[in-house]
């Protein structure tokens, strides 16, 4: 299956908001609703520090990338904030195609480091990330790394 990936623009904010809302709803996470998400995505895209990649004509999936200057190198570091494929289309290579484009986009923007977080029980996502070369260990045989978060 050939998957078309493109960078979202201002005209895509409603689709991005819908996908992000569906993602949170699927996992029973809080969501401000598709309209509020669309508005916020529009604000973030305008800064240039956020990139959203869309997969398929629906669109059928997305990746949200947040960039900032790296502390440890002269490059950019990227946080993969969200990766989502609509449930009915999973297992068709859309996530892999998005991840391939994520890595190309990060490199093209001068990035030399990318990080993300996922839950222990999301085995499909973890398997994809590990196939793509991501690790959750410090060094080859080091301890497991953890992601912590807190709302303020």
Give the chain's domains with CATH numbers. Answer: 5-117 (3.40.630.30)
CA gap 109, 79 in Å, rounded = 13
Contact 81, 114 (CB under 8 A): no
Contact 124, 99 (CB under 8 A): no
pLDDT in tens, 96-135: 999 999 999 999 999 999 999 999 999 999 999 999 999 9
Q: Is the dihedral of CA 47, 106, 145, 97 positive or negative?
A: positive
CA gap 70, 124 in Å, rounded = 29
Mean pLDDT of the chain: 96
Q: What is the share, in percent, of the chain residues with pLDDT greater than 90?
A: 93
pLDDT in tens, 39-57: 999 999 999 999 999 999 9
Any idea what the Cα angle at residue 148 is, between residues 13 and 48, rounded to 5°? 30
């Amino acid at each position: 299956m050939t998957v078309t990936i493109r960078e979202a623009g201002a005209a895509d904010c409603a689709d991005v908001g819908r996908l992000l809302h569906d993602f949170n709803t699927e996992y029973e996470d809080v969501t401000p609703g598709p309209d509020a998400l669309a508005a916020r995505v529009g604000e973030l895209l305008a800064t240039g520090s956020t990139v959203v990649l869309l997969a398929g004509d629906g669109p059928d999936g997305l990746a949200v990338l947040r960039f900032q200057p790296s502390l440890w190198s002269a490059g950019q570091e990227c946080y993969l904030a969200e990766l989502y494929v609509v449930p009915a289309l999973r297992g068709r290579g859309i996530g892999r195609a998005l991840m391939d484009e994520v890595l190309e986009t990060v490199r093209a923007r001068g990035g030399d480091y990318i990080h993300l977080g996922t839950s222990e029980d999301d085995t499909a996502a973890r398997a994809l990330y590990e196939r793509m070369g991501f690790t959750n260990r410090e060094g080859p045989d080091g301890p497991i790394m953890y992601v912590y978060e807190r709302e303020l």
